[in-house]
Structure 1
Amino acid sequence: MNAPDNPAPAVELLGPAEIRQLADKLGVTPTKKLGQNFVHDPNTVRRIIGAADIGAEDHVVEIGPGLGSLTLGLLEAAHKVTVVEIDERLAGELPRTVAWRAPAAADRLTVITQDALQTRPEQIEAPTALVANLPYNVSVPVLLHFLAIFPTITRVLVMVQAEVADRLAAEPGSKIYGVPSVKASFYGDVRRAGSIGRHVFWPEPNIESGLVRIDRHRDAEWNLGDRDRVFPLVDAAFAQRRKTLRAALAGHYGSAQAAEEALTAAGIDPKLRGEKLGVADFVRLATVSADSAPEYRR
C-alpha cells in the first residue's frame, strides 16, 4: 500500500480552537497570580524552538507548560521533554493532550507537578536545554534557579515580559543594567532573541513579550562555586544605585575603607557605580576579597 501524498505530521500543534476546547474541558480560567497566558499560534511555537536550536539529542526542561502548546512542539524536535507545572489540573491533562496530538511521543514526556522554585536537581536527569514561556511574575527567580541547579543546561530560550527581557540582556553602563543582567551573565552569554506580539496569547496580555537566549559559558574564568561569593556583592552594589561602589559595598565589607581596599586590589575604581561593572569585574572582586580576607568568604 502506498503512503499518502501528504501524511499527517507526527505532532499536531494546538491552535486557538484547541486551546479553548482544553480550557473549557478543564474549567480553566487563566489567572494573573500564576502568570497564565497560553500561546495559541503554532508559528510562534516553531519560532521559539528554532531560536533555541533544539535537536534530536536534547533533553529539554519546560517550566509552566500550561495547556501544552510549546510542549508539543518540543516533543516534535527533542529526544525527551520534562515539564514542571504547578497547576494540578493542567499537569494532569498534559499527558492526555500529548496522547491526542502526538501519540508517538507520549513516552518521551515526563510531568512534574510542583512549584518550579522547589525543583531539586535529582528530580530531572541532565537536561541540556531550558525552553519556556515563563510565568511573568516569577520569571527571573525561576530562570536563575534552574541555571544554578542544572549545570548540564547549555542553552536557554525563554519568553518573558519585554521589559524583563531588556533588563536580562542589558550591557554594563545601561540605565536598565542591574542585578538580573549580572546574574544571568554569570551563567552565560545573554542576548535578546526577538519580540512576541500580544495576539498569539489567550488571554491577550496587556504587555509585550520578548525572547531571551542564554548560551552557557564554556571557558569562563569562574565556576558555579564562585556564585555564593559573587551574588551578595552584586546585590549590595545595586541596592543603592546612585552610590559609589565604595559606599554601596561598605556594609558588605564592614566599612567604606575596607571596601575601597578590596576594590583597589581588584583593579576597580572605588568611585564607580555598580552599573559600570561587568560580571567578570564582580568575579574578580569576589576572588580578591576571598584571597585577602577569609571572613569575606561566603
Structure 2
Amino acid sequence: MTRTVYVNGEYLPEHEAKVSIFDRAFLMADGVYEVTSVLDGKLIDFDGHAKRLQRSLDELDMKSPVTMDELLEIHRELVRVNEIDEGLVYLQVTRGAPADRDFVFPDPETTEPTLVLFTQSKPGLADSPAAKRGMKVISIEDQRWGRRDIKTVQLLYPSMGKMMAKKAGADDAWMVEDGFVTEGTSNNAYIIKGNTIITRALSNDILHGITRAAVLRFAREAQMQVEERNYTIDEAKEADEAFITSASTFVMPVIEIDGTPVGEGTPGPRAARLREIYLEESRKAAI
C-alpha cells in the first residue's frame, strides 16, 4: 500500500511529496521535529508533544504553520488513511525556503514554514522483544551543541553515536559531558538504586522528554523516590537497574554499560513495572 504523507496543506502519496532544495532544514538543519506514538490507533501524549513543539518553535523564533487543533486533526487523518494501529507519526517544521542560501534567516512574520508529517507502522511496538531482553549501551563523549532542550533536526552526532554502539556490539550509547551522563542518543537515561530513580535534572543540557515527565510522575505515584541529579558512568555500573525512556521505546531496560552488567544483567522488576504502568495509563489517556 502506498503511504499517504502530509506536505504543506496537502495529503499526497509519498512518491509525490517534494520539498525545495533551498529549504533551510536541508541547508542549515534549521528545523524542529516531534515523534508521537500510536497505540490501538490512538495518539499517545499528543498534548505534551504539541506543547514541546511550540516551545522549540518559540526558542528558534519560528512561527507555527498551523494551530495545534489543526495539527491534531492532521495526525488523526494520517493514522486513519494509513491504517496505523501501532506505530509512529513523525512531524517536522522548518523555517522554509523563501530565498537563496544565506546564514541570516528572514523575518519570521514574512516566511512560511515547511510542515511535513508521515507515519511509520510498527506492529508489536508495545510488546517489544527488546523490552524483555534489555539493551546494552556504551558511553561516548557528548559533542553536541549546547541547546539540546530544543528538539532540532541536528541529529548527525546522535546518529554517529548509534553507529559507534552498533560497531561495539551494543544497542545504543549514553553520552557523557564533564564526567556525567547527559542522556542517550535519542532518549533520556536513568539508573535505579534501591527504591530511588536517579536521572539528570532538566536544563539546556538534555531534551525535556515527554515520556520522561510521564514516567517520573507515575513513579512517584507508585511510591518510588526520584532524584534529579548528575551521575557518572561508574555510578551507573553499580546501580541495581537502569533504563531509558522515549516516545518510541516507552520504558526500555538497560542491562549492560560498557561491557559491565547492570544488577543481575537482566531486566529488573522496577523498570519492567514502570513500563507496564506507562503503557496502561497512556492507553487510557490516548486520543
TM-score, length basis structure 1 = 0.28
Higher strand share: 2
Name the structure with the higher helix share: 1
Structure of higher RCO (CA pairs closer than 8 Å, 6+ residues apart): 2
Q: Give the structure with higher Rg (CA).
A: 1
